Structure 1
Amino acid sequence: MKLITNNYELTKLIIQDSRAAGTKIPLRFLRTFLNAKPIIEPEYFDVCPILLVHPEVDPMTPFKLSESFYKRLKCKKRCVILEGTGHFPIEQPGVEQMKIAVLTLLNEIENTFESKED
């Protein structure tokens, strides 16, 4: 959890918080999480568009780990690398980039529904 943010003071607060990184996680949950298989393999997934917002400076989850799965997705997809952000993205300009990416995706989805209603 020491890699959760790139801000020492914030990381310290998160680790001390019993409802955040200071909580206990049952081993059963970890085992289930680590052994989970997708219901739909990414090569066949076309249910909805996917937006991957990935921190640029994330020692906890390197982009390579996310990228390999992302590349396998069949659906319409977009990847935005959040400049200057860590795993818990709080740094600018990445936070603004994330906001714009999410709002753009939501707008595209809304426009898709509106055009189907016509």
Structure 2
Amino acid sequence: MSKVKSKLNGIDSLVRSTGQHPWAHLEAGYWRVQVEDQPVLGFVMRVRAEIGDTFTFEVYADARNARGQRIWVRREESLNSAVAWMMQNSDRLIKFAAQHTTPAAVNDRSESTSKA
């Protein structure tokens, strides 16, 4: 069990070495950006186009397109820059996410139970 734990710690240390921010919460290979109990602003992923290229930080909204994919918003050079941009545009990001929600699953369940 210690071997698995040490491997996971190694992976986390690789991702964490790219930067930290108090409102960027490291999850499974990406950061969830959320200020305390406020709505999630979005997500940041560290990517590199090709081996040898510098890493960039891709900002995604807390919303999905018609195919269920996260919606890309912009690219930044660092985690701190990405989070700072998200904080500065938090109202717009929250509004955008609200416009792209799909409440159909909840409505379908409530209609089916009320008809029974």
TM-score of the pair, normalised by structure 2: 0.31
Q: Per chain length, whose mean CA-contact separation is higher, i.e. which structure has more relative contact order (CA < 8 Å, sep 6+)?
A: 1
TM-score normalised to the size of structure 1? 0.31
